[in-house]
Amino acid sequence: MSLTNDIIVILQEDLGPSASIFLDRCCKKTLKKRSADLGRDDIAPLADCCYNGIKESLGQQTAEKVRRNLLALR
């Protein structure tokens, strides 16, 4: 699987079918690139962006779990 697919699988656990849309928005906002162009160096800033977005809607505990799982991909 590609890195993007690995990230989507992690996000889908809590975001369901909106995971890819959320990922695209985080990539554009934080990294100024497409999700298909993600590299391992992008994971930390992406994890922070996802944390902030998820914390507001699903809570801090869920956001921390997602961040931890994303950082494990490095």
Backbone angles phi, psi at 73, to 5 degrees: -75, -15
pLDDT per residue as tens, the chain (74 positions): 799 999 999 999 999 999 999 999 999 999 999 999 999 999 999 999 999 999 999 999 999 999 999 999 99
Element containing residue 73 per DSSP (H, E): none
Res 1: pLDDT: 72
Confidence (pLDDT) at 30: 93
pTM for this prediction: 0.94
